[in-house]
Chain A
Amino acid sequence: MLIERKWKKWLYFYLPMAAFIVFTLFPFYWMAVTAFRPDSELYATWRQPNAAPLWTLQPTLEHFYGLMKTTAFPTWLWNTMAIAIVSTGISLICGTFAGYALARLRFRGSEFLGTAIFITYLVPQTLLFIPLADIVRDLQLGNTPWALMLTYPTFLIPFCTWLLMGYFKTIPKELEECARIDGATRFGAMVRIIFPVAIPGILSAGIFAFTLSWNEFIYALIFMSSADQKTVPVGVVSELIRGDIFFWGQLMMGALLGSVPVALVYSFFVEYYVTGLTGSVKG
């Protein structure tokens, strides 16, 4: 380690670190404070004397009850959860299989397919939403959770495939070969020997995919029309702004409650998430 003077450490480390922490976390703090602040405090102008906007003097649950009474918030939460879980599951199955095939099996066109899947990885949702809305409608999927459960894998499968392909390549080939010599079929060796070894990689891909589906917005906005089918982000956007009026207390309460599940999942699996994140950009 290089030796540093104390004031230098403050100037070059603690100070910028503190600034980064405040910059990163303040919006969440502000979201939480607003969610528990009564309307009378909420709508006090910025220059009013005695205003104490950084905390609240009378915390209240009125926005929570308001949200539950006037909207289908628990249903949105449930929809988002179900859609995220199912689309992650589908993507993991497809991605694990495809990743294994591309990493381990020799067949014609494997390089082309690998590149093609990588390219679909980089196709943004905003490029295709207009024709996709028609396809979803033609398949009779409009306004049903399946519209999202089947379209979210379009951006999750490429990522899972790519990540797991890299992971499978790090598993020594000998492991499979031993199992094959002991009489395992190719399929059996894959499922019973390789997949269990790849569980950390699969978990990383799954956590990352889960957060991506929770975050998705434009497909959910376009494919879901009735209030009881919406996901949290769409519900908050479309039901908590009536006309020109923003219900800030309820909006922030909804944002807070919609963030907690995904933050919880993330906090349990931070290391796996980070592996997924850094692996997502590696070749």
Chain B
Amino acid sequence: MGGGRAGQDLHLSAEQVRVSRLTRLLESEKALAAALLAPGVAILVLFIAYPFVMALWYSLTSIRVGEAGEFVGVANFTKAMNDSIFQQAFRNTVFYTFWATVFKLALGMWLALLLNRHFRLKRIVRASMLLPFIIPTVLSAFAWRWMFDPTFSVMNWGLYHAGMITDRLPFLSSGDWAMWCAVLVNTWRGMPFFAITLLAGLQTISPDLHEAAALDGANAWHRFWHVTWPLLLPVTLVVVVFSVIQTFSDFQLIYVLTGGGPANSTHLIATYAYQIGVGSGLLGEGAALSLFMFPVLFAVVWVQLRFLKRMDNA
């Protein structure tokens, strides 16, 4: 608006000239796009692209805290592959991601179907269902750790008084149990994300389809399997991709719940990389360990991008 009027004024101050030049420059789509994208891209380049390149470089050197180190080739990677703790951490990460995602999808889908019905207090129930996802994971993981406490566990108390156990369950003090406990807590935390996103997908499905299927004699399970599930598949795939990335790279839940123990049985790639890179100060080795996450994440992202493209073209 100012640009046109300023042009007619013959006595332009230096300030006005500058402003009108800027306005005219911003009329060009390219210049405006560059100006609008610059701040965001600058932050992403400085704090994601640059550290990523640095991580690649670190992973090829023997750098440690206070010591520049030298180029060692792929020694850090081969060392990691021969490291039995890392092998276990990798297996744990796959196990944790797989089972937590399966449970989150199954329970989230069930919860979404329940929330899709009409009932009293629906809004408040739906809002409270999201709480595990809102509350900082570290804080809620402490509540779980306290519930799993070897001596004072409320769950042992409950099961004992319900007559279901005679001796306490080990929860976090046994390796097998601890991993399943971590899967449980991750499921608890991530299930609302699945439920609410799938619910949004469910709400776009016309009830007419279900009525028609019901009239044709389809029972509830058939209606779900042949009507709801195929229509929800695109949303489901995207949610699963996001969840796999988050779960595969998880750190805070394990850090609080078990710290990787007992005897490394719950270490994930991220917690082990933290222990080596920050705990022991072996920056090069730690960076290499973190990078082992990359191929898996890359594959998942690639699937996602392919899928988005296909949806765009459809």
CA distance A97 to B43 in the complex (A): 14
Q: Are B47 and A154 in contact (CB under 8 A)?
A: yes
Q: Are A236 and B138 in contact (CB under 8 A)?
A: yes
Chain A interface helix/strand/loop/mixed: helix
Q: Is A171 an interface residue (CB 8 A)?
A: no
Q: Is B17 an interface residue (CB 8 A)?
A: no
Q: Is A27 an interface residue (CB 8 A)?
A: yes
Interface size of A by CB at 8 A reads: 102
CA distance A97 to B35 in the complex (A): 9
Q: Is A11 an interface residue (CB 8 A)?
A: no
Q: Is B72 an interface residue (CB 8 A)?
A: no
Nearest-Cβ distance from residue A143 to partner chain B, whole angstroms? 15
Q: Is B231 an interface residue (CB 8 A)?
A: no
Q: Is B270 an interface residue (CB 8 A)?
A: yes
Q: Are B160 and A283 in contact (CB under 8 A)?
A: no
Q: Are B138 and A126 in contact (CB under 8 A)?
A: no
Interface size of B by CB at 8 A reads: 109
Interchain CB contact (< 8 A) of B135 among A118, A259, A280: A259
Q: Which of B17-56 contact A (CB under 8 A)?
A: 23, 26-27, 29-30, 32-34, 36-37, 39-41, 43-44, 46-52, 54-55
Closest B residue to A179 by beta carbon equals B1
Q: Are A123 and B33 in contact (CB under 8 A)?
A: no
| Interface window among B82-90, B94-102, B175-183, B237-245 | B237-245
Supposing A34-B146, A122-B245, A132-B51 touch, asked if A46 and B153 sit within 8 A by C-beta, the answer is: yes
Q: Is A153 an interface residue (CB 8 A)?
A: yes
CA distance A238 to B49 in the complex (A): 30
Interchain CB contact (< 8 A) of B44 among A42, A43, A154: A154
Q: Is B196 an interface residue (CB 8 A)?
A: yes
Closest B residue to A187 by beta carbon equals B26
Interchain CB contact (< 8 A) of A161 among B40, B157, B283, B286: B40
CA distance A158 to B44 in the complex (A): 9
Chain B residues within 8 Å of A132, by CB: 47, 51
Nearest-Cβ distance from residue B83 to partner chain A, whole angstroms? 17
